[in-house]
Every structure is written in C-alpha cells, then in structure tokens.
A and B are shown apart, each in its own frame.
Chain A
Amino acid sequence: MSDTLPTRVHPAGWTSHTVFDTACPATSFNPHAGFDTADAGGGGRFHPFTDPAGIPVPTRYLGDHPIGAFAETLMRDDLGHRSVSLDTIARHGIATITFARDMLLADLVVDVVASPTLRGLLRSGREACPALRTLARTLHERHDRIDGLVWQGRQLEAAGMNGTVLFGDRVAVNVDLIETGVHALDRGLGLQLLRDAARARRFALPDALVLDGPRAGLMDDG
C-alpha cells in the first residue's frame, strides 16, 4: 500500500448504525447488480463502481450516529427531494452493527487546506457523485487491504459524526459484522429515530407517521 494514503482503524467491537432494506439482513451488502440506471436514487456517493474484473463491488453504508445512517441512505441530499415515503419506511429498518474484527479504512476526513478538491467533493451534492465513485474505485483497486472508506460529508454536518462505506468483497457477511439491534422504522424506537433524523436533515415524513392518537389530523384543514 502506498504510504500516501491516510488510513484509520475502527477496532473490533466498534459499533455503527445502518439503515437497511428489510428484505435482506442488515449485515448484508447491496450487490448493485442490475441496478436501475433510470433511477437516480439507485446511485450513491461511493457506488456503483466495479472491480478490475468488471464485477460491481457491493457496499454497505454505516453512520457513527443513527442520523448519519439516515443521511447516507433515505435522507441523502442527492435524492433531489426531501421526503421519505410510507412504502420506503415500511421496507426499511435501522440496525446497530458491531465490528467483529479491526477494519482498515481509507481516511477521507480531510481539512480544506490539505485537500480542497476532495473536501469540496465531499461537501457537494449529487453532481459530485461520479467523481467520488471514481475515487472509490481507484482506492479500492490500488489498496487491496482497505475494507472501506471513512469520511465526514456535508450530509452529517456535525463534527465527529462520520460515515463509513464497507466493501462487500473485503468484509465477510455475518463473520466480520454482527447485528446487535434492529428496529422497524414505522413504530417504536425506530420511528423515533426516523423522526429525529427527519428533523436534523430537514426532511418531511408522511403525515400518517407524524401525528398519532389525539393529535391525528392536526394539520388537516377540514
């Protein structure tokens, strides 16, 4: 590995949060195989990209904080709208993930003086995604020991609240990652976390999930 790549280690026992499609386990990776190219919501900051053999590299996005996990999935700036639908909420959950081994991560937490271009990309919207995907692909190709990337993007907007993306061809599902807590988003703690994140990210939630009980219908005109 080149000495010029800054890295950091998230040790075994490190916990992160992830928002995941409940059709698959929270520790699984999105294979990005056959993703819908007509769907701008299907691409993200560091995906899709392929390995040297042309195979899409699966990814799993994590946040140090639940809000960060939402910020990198359902509440991204690059979605173009600031809403989360009832269907999306019903199909997703939030989980706590614990690392079962040390994870070596390319450290993209940079300051603007040292890396103005990279810093600018990380703080930009969806127009920066193609360049960031190329950056991810380049680092993945050149540094075969790294398990992923860690960065502090504009979506997190809080010091010390970083995002992590893990590469699915480097991290073993259900071996390197342990699911230590799962919550549905449409009720209980998961719904509270969703509401917290929506407020922090200035997203709108469906009325049906905002008010309940005697408060229902407060925003109706009728």
Chain B
Amino acid sequence: MNASHPTEGIDGVAPAPAGDRLASGPVTVSDISSPSVLQRHDARYDPDSGQRLPGAWIVDIVGHATDDVLRGLRARGASELFERDRTVPMVPDRESAERALRTLLDFSAAREREGYDRVVDALGEAPALDGNQLHQAQEHAVRKCWLIDHEPLLSTEELVRLMPDRVAAGGNASRTLQGLRDRDELLGVRLMRDWRYPACQLDARGEVHVALPPVFAEARRQGYTPWEVLFWLAAPGAPTSMPIVAGRPLEPAGESETLEDIARRAVALHENDPPAPDLVRPASLLAANETEAFRHHAARWLGERTSVTRPG
C-alpha cells in the first residue's frame, strides 16, 4: 500500500491523521473541503491490487456525510449506515471515526440551525403586506404591464438619436439624460436595470413637450413615481369639453304614474342626447396641440393651485 495513502489512518495501518484531526475539535469548512480530505474519498481501492480496502466503508460514510455537509444538506442517514455496517470487522480506530462522524453531524446540524435562523430573520424583516396593499400592488403591476404593452418606450440609444442637439452620443449620454431627468425635463421609467423613455412625451421635433416639465416637477414633488406619471399621461382619463346634461322637467302624466313609468319617460327624453363624452389621453391632447385642455386636466390631477395651470 502506498505509504501516503489517505486511508492509512482510518485502517490503522499508519497513524490516523484524519480521525485525530477531526476528533480533536469542531471541524471547520476549510478543514473539510481541503483537497487532501476530498481526495481521500476516492481512495477506497488498493491502487495495485484493485481490491476494496478494509475499512473502506468508513471512508464511504465519512465521505457521504462530508459531501452532504458541503452541499448544505443534513448528513441524514450516515449514522444509520454506520450501524448497519457493524457486521464489518471493527477497525482499530473506529472510535476516532465515530468522533469524526459526530463532529461532522454536529457541524451539519449547526449549519441547518443557522439556515433556519437566517430564514426566520428574513421573514421577520420581510415586508408584511395586508390584503389592501396586495390589491394595490396588483393594480400597479397591471398598469405597468398595460404601459409596457401599449406605450412605446424608447431605449437610451433611440432617445439619443432623436435628440442629437441635446444629448451627444457616447459616454456622456447617460449622465446628460440623468441631468434631464433630475431637472424634470425628461420622463424616464426604470424597466429592470434599464431606463426607458415614453415616446408620448415628445413632440413632432423630438423635444419634450413644453407643457410637461412643470407637470413632471409637481408630480414628483407630490410623491408620484415616474410610472404613475406615465400612466396618467398615457391612459384615457381626460374628458372632452362636452357639456354635462342636467336633469330636465317631465310633465305630469297622471296620478297613477309609477317610478317605472317615470324612468321610461326619462330614458325616452334623453334618447337623442349626445353620447357621454369620451375620455382621451392627456398625451393625445398635447399631440393635438390642445395645450390649455391638457393644463386643465393636469390641474385637476395635481391640484388647481399648482404651477401647471400657468401658461408655459
């Protein structure tokens, strides 16, 4: 047998460095994962005769347990395997091997407890959302999906091509765009790790519409996120300027007239009224050059007293 064979100690052929070392105190990860220990697992056969070495079963057990521990698993079954193989002739340093195993199992249990502790800590620190907040999270997610599906969002490169006079291509483009965003002169939304720029904020010249920066600034001041600003801008919500139809008088039609009769006559009276006003996207108001209507709608959203009502 090769004198340097790693199983020497376990078989008692030579001093048992592994068992002694493992049994001498709590083992550390670096101890277990050291190349010399790992190599030992593959050395269960005599390299000359090809025969399985006496005591190789202990190497198997320790090896399996070590592998489990290194994978972050509990070394389950190792002790059972140990017991089952009692029929194998005892080796002189079995006690050392048991201690080594126990150390490994203790280490495994400690790792397991540590894992549980980490999970418990993480759960304790995780945001606890109630049903209302979950509903709102869902609403916001649905809106974001709608925007991604329906609203053209330009990449940084595409925007730079559209705004060559304001943003020079190259290394400074990101910094320039960040400056524009920070000054509320450009609306950008984060999509994963990238910035995207809604096309609807641009006019025919490729510039951000002049009426928008005050809206962006006031919306940010009030606490709206860029995605919320974009949803307001892009989703239908602004009523057109059709007058409200007020209630009209119905002539009496006899004492026996019922509620249902009145309802029928009211419906008939309004049958030829113009339909209820459609809702339009604020961005469409800008595109149609209806800037005052846009400002009116922005003021309804952000408050009548905000600067968005001032002609820009």
Interface residues of A (CB under 8 A from B): 2-6, 35, 37-43, 46-50, 52, 78, 80-81, 83, 85-87, 90-91, 106, 108, 110, 114-118, 121, 126-127, 129-139, 141-142, 192, 195-196, 198-199, 202-208, 210-211, 214-215, 218-222
Contact = CB atoms under 8 A, between A and B. Distances in A.
A91 B304 CA distance: 11
Report the 7 A-B pairs with minimum CB-CB distance, sorted nearest first. Answer: A49-B247, A133-B247, A208-B223, A137-B247, A40-B239, A118-B263, A87-B303
A117 B271 CA distance: 13
Nearest to B130: A195
Given A81-B236, A137-B249, A218-B137, A196 B244 contact: no
Contact of B239 (A39, A115, A117, A142): A39
B266 A210 contact: no
A80 B241 CA distance: 14
Contacts of A199: 131-132, 135-136
B263 A121 contact: yes
Contacts of B222: 86-87, 208
Interface residues on B, range: 35 or more
Given A86-B222, A139-B262, A210 B300 contact: no
Contacts of A80: 236-237, 239, 279
Given A137-B248, A137-B249, 10 more contacts: A4-B256, A4-B257, A5-B259, A37-B243, A38-B243, A49-B247, A86-B223, A199-B131, A221-B192, A222-B190
B310 interface: no
A108 B260 CA distance: 10
Contacts of A2: 255-257
Contacts of A215: 127-129, 133
B247 A130 contact: yes
Interface string B267-281: 101100101110100
A204 B140 contact: yes
Nearest to B139: A204
Interface in B188-204: 189-192
B294 to A, nearest CB: 13
A181 to B, nearest CB: 21
Contacts of B296: 38
A48 B243 CA distance: 12
B53 interface: no
B246 A133 contact: yes
Contacts of B164: none
Contacts of B235: 81
Q: Could you say which of A46, A50, A210 has the most chain B C-beta atoms within 10 Å of its C-beta?
A: A210
Interface of B: 125, 127-129, 131-133, 135-137, 139-141, 143, 189-192, 222-225, 228, 231-232, 235-237, 239, 241-250, 252, 255-260, 262-264, 266-267, 269-270, 273, 275-277, 279, 296, 300-303
19 contacts: A2-B255, A5-B259, A46-B247, A80-B279, A81-B279, A130-B270, A132-B247, A134-B250, A137-B247, A142-B252, A199-B131, A199-B135, A199-B136, A203-B139, A206-B223, A206-B224, A207-B136, A208-B222, A210-B136
A105 B279 CA distance: 34
Contacts of A138: 247, 249-250, 262, 266
Contacts of A115: 258-260, 263
A114 B300 CA distance: 41
Contacts of B276: 40, 78, 126-127, 129
A18 B195 CA distance: 43
Contacts of A206: 223-224, 228
A214 B244 contact: no
Contacts of B270: 130-131, 134
Given A87-B222, A130-B247, A204-B136, A41 B260 contact: no
Given A39-B300, A199-B131, A110 B249 contact: no
Contacts of A116: 260
A211 B133 contact: yes
Contact of B244 (A35, A46, A83, A221): A35
A87 B302 contact: yes
Contacts of B279: 40, 80-81
A210 B247 contact: no
B204 to A, nearest CB: 27
Q: Could you say which of B237, B248, B263 has the most chain A C-beta atoms within 10 Å of its C-beta?
A: B263
